[in-house]
C-alpha cells in the first residue's frame, strides 16, 4: 500500500483510508460487531493505516468498535475521530444541535480516548463548524489538548476557506475532511487552492458518492427508511436516473483500464493531488479489496482530461443534503 502525507504536518497514512461510519450508523441497523471487527483487521493486514470514526456514529458504538478491533495494532494505525454535536440525551441515534464550546470539546476528547482505548487521539476533527463559537476558541481548545498530549493533530470538516484560515492561525490544521468526488466538485473552486497554500491535507468522505458511483444503484433501487440516503435529494428515483450518465462515464473508462467504476472514481481522486487521502466506507471484505485495488490504477493526464471533459457535460441533479443539513456546511 502506498503512503501519503497529509499536507505539511508530517502525518503519514495509507493512500486510502477506511470510513467506518456505515458499520454502526446511517446505513440501516448497526452491523454485527464480530463481522466488522474482521473487516477492520483485514484492512490493517492489507496495508490500510487510516481509520475514520466519530462519537456521533451510533452514538458511541462506532468508536467502541474501532477501538476494540484496532487495539492489537496500537502504534501502527492512525485513528481519526470528531467532536461538535450535542447528542440525544436518551442515547438514540442523531443529535440535537451543534456544540463546539471548549469545555464540550475537552469532555468529548476524554470520552473518545476511553472508547478508542488510546492515550492520544491521532486526528481530532471539528465535525461541523459551530456558528455560536468563534473558531479561534475551538482551535485554542484543541491546541490545549495537543499541549496536554491528549490529541496529536487538529482537523476540520466541511468548513469554509476563511474559517480554515482563521483556525489555522491559532493551531495548524492537519487535514480537512469534506465530501469530494466526481459528482461533488464544490471543493475545487476555493477549498483545494486554500489547502494547497496552507499545506493542509484533504480527506474526501463519500468518495464513491455514498455508493452511487459504484454502478450498483439505479432509479429502481429501493432504500429502507433507516438508510439515511432515503432522505437525500440526490437519491430520489428521478435524480438517480438523471445522474446515471456519470456512472456510465466511469464504466467506459473502467472497461478500458480493466477496472471497476468504483476503482476509477477513487483513482481519479488520488490523481488530483498527492496530499488527498479518500476514505471510502464499506462493511464487506470484497468491496474493501476492490477499493484497495484503485491505488494501482494509473490514470494518465490524457485520461484525466477525457474524464473532466465528459464530466463537464453532465449536470448533477439534486442537492447533497436536505436544507437543514446543507446549512451546516461551508461555514
DSSP, res 178 = E
Q: Of these residues, 57, 125, 180, 205, which one is catalytic?
A: 57
Preceding peptide of 168 cis, ω within 30°: no
Strands 151-157 and 173-179: parallel
CA distances from 38 to 70, 71, 257, 275, 283 (A): 10, 13, 30, 29, 10
Which sign, positive or negative, has the C-alpha torsion 200, 44, 119, 138?
positive
- Burial zone of 293 (CB within 10 Å; 0-12 exposed, 13-18 middle, 19+ buried): middle
Contact at 8 Å (CB) between 91 and 24? no
Distance of CA 271 to the CA centre of its chain: 17
Q: Is 57 a catalytic residue?
A: yes
- Which residues are marked as active site? 57
Amino acid at each position: 500500500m502506498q503512503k501519503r502525507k497529509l499536507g505539511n504536518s508530517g502525518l503519514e497514512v495509507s493512500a486510502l483510508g477506511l470510513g467506518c461510519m456505515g458499520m454502526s450508523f446511517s446505513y440501516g441497523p448497526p452491523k454485527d460487531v464480530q463481522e466488522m471487527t474482521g473487516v477492520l483487521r483485514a484492512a490493517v493486514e492489507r496495508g490500510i493505516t487510516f481509520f475514520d470514526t466519530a462519537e456521533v456514529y451510533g452514538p458511541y458504538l462506532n468508536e467502541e468498535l474501532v477501538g476494540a478491533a484496532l487495539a492489537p495494532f496500537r502504534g501502527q494505525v492512525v485513528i481519526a475521530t470528531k467532536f461538535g454535536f450535542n447528542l440525544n440525551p436518551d442515547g438514540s441515534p442523531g443529535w440535537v444541535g451543534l456544540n463546539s464550546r471548549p469545555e464540550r470539546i475537552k469532555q468529548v476528547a476524554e470520552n473518545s480516548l476511553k472508547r478508542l482505548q488510546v492515550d492520544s487521539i491521532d486526528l481530532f476533527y471539528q465535525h461541523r463548524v459551530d456558528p455560536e463559537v468563534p473558531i479561534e476558541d475551538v482551535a485554542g481548545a484543541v491546541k490545549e489538548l495537543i499541549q496536554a498530549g491528549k490529541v496529536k493533530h487538529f482537523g476540520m470538516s466541511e468548513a469554509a476557506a476563511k474559517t480554515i484560515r482563521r483556525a489555522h492561525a491559532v493551531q495548524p490544521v492537519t487535514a480537512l475532511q469534506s465530501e469530494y468526488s466526481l459528482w461533488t466538485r464544490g471543493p475545487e473552486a476555493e477549498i483545494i487552492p486554500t489547502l494547497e497554500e496552507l499545506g493542509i491535507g484533504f480527506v474526501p468522505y463519500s468518495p464513491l458518492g455514498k455508493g452511487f458511483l459504484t454502478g450498483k444503484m439505479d432509479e429502481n433501487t429501493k432504500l429502507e427508511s433507516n438508510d439515511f440516503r432515503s432522505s437525500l435529494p440526490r437519491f430520489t428515483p428521478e435524480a438517480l436516473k438523471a445522474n446515471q450518465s456519470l456512472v456510465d462515464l466511469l464504466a467506459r473508462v473502467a472497461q478500458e483500464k480493466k477496472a471497476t467504476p468504483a476503482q476509477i472514481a477513487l483513482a481519479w481522486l488520488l490523481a488530483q493531488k498527492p496530499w488527498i487521502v479518500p476514505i471510502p466506507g464499506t462493511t464487506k471484505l470484497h468491496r474493501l479489496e476492490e477499493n484497495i485495488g484503485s491505488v494501482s490504477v494509473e490514470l494518465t493526464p490524457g485520461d484525466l482530461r477525457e474524464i473532466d471533459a465528459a464530466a463537464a457535460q453532465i449536470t448533477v441533479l439534486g442537492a447533497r443534503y436536505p436544507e437543514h443539513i446543507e446549512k451546516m456546511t461551508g461555514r
